[in-house]
Amino acid sequence: MAAIPLDLLDRIRALERQVRELSGRSQMRPAMDTITHGRVTIGEGGSLAVVAPNGRTALSTGQWSDGTYGTRLGRDDGSAAWTIGGSGTDTANMVRMWSRGGSAIVMDDAYSDRHLGRPSLPIPWQPTSGATTNSTTGAVSWYAATRVQCPVFWLGIETYCPANLSARVEMEANTAGSSTWENWQTWTVSGGTAGRWTTNEVTRPAHRLPHFAHITLRIRQTVTSGQGTVSTNVLGSYQRNTFTPGEAPQAPPASLAKTTTATLLGASTTEPVRLSPSAGRDQS
């Protein structure tokens, strides 16, 4: 039998070892914890969840139990910190930040697509010399200026009339670029036979004003009968979210909708490019 060189046998053994390694590796599953290229798609009602060993969900995104879609970020105790969407018609596709106690502390509005829902924002008022007046032609008693953030305005006010005196109180608004004051509400007060304070609340939608539009407000008071002076105090004022669909303001005219601070400052008001097309119109 012819002699076989030892180096050739070594080469055959090495080749056999490599074949065995390749055969074993072909039966191994590739790593499933890394995606290096392409898009991951979860369709047809699917969802993605990151769940801690204790069973609490840190992240979930996809279809909600009511059939809508959204995203939830949770704390390590299981409570929600941030949600997009949720159960119920009033909260469909709303964005909400939650306190640890379970209250929505930041959110868009349920019924008004254009406005902030929470937090409620205070409106500071400044008195004038006409806060106490005997004018029979009308005197401005209080002024305020703000940006429209939430869809509903609220004002608490009180007026004192002495005995046998009656007066008219008006709340008026002026939007940026407007040359006229619009009457938002008018009410009458009377001192009766002994003089008295009369309180009143004004609650109304933002009245076709776009988000972040500048608005100036004023209170006027006029003595309509009797002799003496009338005095008015603003107790408080703020903007808040809608409680019912009927409180949602009407859509602003196209010309007024363009008058926002972002436009005035030359900033872009267009929506950033989306990563994927929307399946439908967002609801608040």
Instruction: Give the whole-angstrom CA distance, residue 124 versus residue 113.
Output: 26
Per-residue pLDDT tens for 101-155?
999 999 999 899 889 999 999 999 999 999 999 999 999 999 999 999 999 999 9
pLDDT bracket for residue 6 (50, 70, 90)? low
Assess if residue 12 is contained within a domain.
no
Q: Are 176 and 54 contained in the same domain?
A: no
The domain spanning residue 205 has which CATH number? 2.60.120
Phi and psi dihedrals of 123, rounded to 5?
-115, 110
Q: Are 166 and 226 contained in the same domain?
A: yes
Q: Are 152 and 54 contained in the same domain?
A: no
Check pLDDT > 60 for residue 88. Answer: no
* This prediction's pTM: 0.75
Q: Are 145 and 86 contained in the same domain?
A: no
Q: CB-based contacts of 202: which residues, under 8 Å, 6+ apart?
A: 153, 154, 155, 157, 171, 184, 185
pLDDT value at residue 70: 87
pLDDT value at residue 149: 95
Q: Are 133 and 218 contained in the same domain?
A: yes
Assess if residue 6 is contained within a domain.
no
* Alpha carbon separation from 279 to 193, 276, 282 (Å, rounded): 66, 9, 9
Assess if residue 160 is contained within a domain.
yes
Check pLDDT > 50 for residue 274. Answer: no
- Mean pLDDT of the chain, nearest integer: 83
Instruction: Give the whole-angstrom CA distance, residue 37 versus residue 15.
Output: 34
Assess if residue 175 is contained within a domain.
yes
Average pLDDT over residues 156-179: 91
The whole domain housing 138 covers: 121-263
Half-sphere exposure of 260 (CA within 13 A, CB side): 20
Whether 214 and 174 have beta carbons less than 8 Å apart is answered as no
pLDDT bracket for residue 25 (50, 70, 90)? low
Overall number of domains in the chain: 2
| More confident call, 28 vs 258 | 28
pLDDT bracket for residue 217 (50, 70, 90)? very high
Check pLDDT > 50 for residue 201. Answer: yes
Q: Are 205 and 235 contained in the same domain?
A: yes
Q: Are 208 and 134 contained in the same domain?
A: yes
Average pLDDT over residues 188-209: 94
Q: Are 97 and 162 contained in the same domain?
A: no
Assess if residue 140 is contained within a domain.
yes
Q: Are 130 and 161 contained in the same domain?
A: yes
